[in-house]
Amino acid sequence: MTGYHTRWVRPETEADDPERLAIREALAFGKALYDRRTALGPSVTDLAGRAGMTADEIECIEEVGTEPTVALLRRLAAVLDADVRLTAGHDLGSVWFETRAA
C-alpha cells in the first residue's frame, strides 16, 4: 500500500504555509530561551522578575511558544546578558542567545 499517508511526505503547499512558519519560529524562540536560562541557572520566577514579566509568561514562551517580537527579544537578551542571533531558517536552531563578547 503506497498512499500519501504511508510515505510521511508533506505536500509542498504546506511547507511554506505562513502559519506553520510562525509556529516553528515560536518553538525555536522558546527553545532558545529555555536553553539559555538553564545554562545560566536562574529559575523561571527569577528570570520573570528580572524581565518584568510573570512566571506564566516565561513558561508560556518556553513550553508553548510565543511569536517573538523585536521588543521581547531585546528585553530577554538584556536580562540574559546575551545577544540574539537569528538565521534565515525556521527550524529549532534558527534563534539563539549568545554570550556577549567582552
Q: What is the pLDDT of residue 9?
A: 65
User: Rounded to two decimals, what is the model's pTM?
Assistant: 0.79
CA 79 to chain centre: 16
Count of CB atoms within 10 A of residue 22's CB?
Answer: 14
pLDDT band of residue 20 (cuts 50, 70, 90) is confident
Which residue in this structure is represented by grid cell 539559555?
A: 36
Give per-residue pLDDT as tens, 42-73.
999 999 999 999 999 999 999 987 888 899 99
Rounded average pLDDT over 12-29 = 80
